[in-house]
Amino acid sequence: MVRVVVSAFPSGEGVKVGAAVLAEDGRIVRSFATVRAEEDLAAAAMSAVLRVLWTSRGAGRSVVVYVDPPEVADWLGRRAPVDDRHLATYVQVRALSHAYRRVEFLPAGPEEVQLARRVARERSREQPDQSADLLELVGRA
């Protein structure tokens, strides 16, 4: 089973986002981070979930995605109604989740949040925001 952690949180530059794909022993096997100019934590987290699901397609058939902020996990797990502003990305994530045998979206616990935020802090300076490119790529698939 593939485990993924995603966190979006405010920073002085906008919203920092960190995501990591974990091996069974807890090692990070793939990660990314970005800083987005927008102030919408949910939009940033949803885009990160979309990106990590897209890039992890070959890693395994079952995936558990731990998401921060927790309301995004509830939306993606169909436990709460999705805010209308996020319907487009929600539909993309749900559609992409069908590439897997099983996908579970859960609110991130303290350990998952800490790990994803550490990735965001360490890697956000290394990579530009590529979320728009990713959304375009997913839209063509």
Instruction: Kindly report, residue by residue over 88-102, the tens digit of the pLDDT.
Output: 999 999 999 999 999
77 in a domain, yes or no? no
How many domains are there within the chain?
1
93 in a domain, yes or no? yes
Q: What is the pTM of this model?
A: 0.85
Res. 126 pLDDT band, cuts 50 70 90: low
27-68 confidence digits (pLDDT tens): 999 999 999 887 899 999 999 999 999 988 888 899 999 999
140 in a domain, yes or no? no
Which CATH number does the domain housing residue 60 bear? Answer: 3.30.420.10
CA atoms within 13 A on the CB side of 9: 17
- Per the structure, the complete domain to which residue 55 belongs is given by 2-37+44-69+83-129
CB atoms within 10 A of CB 65: 28
User: 115, 66 in Cβ contact below 8 A?
Assistant: no
141 in a domain, yes or no? no
74 in a domain, yes or no? no
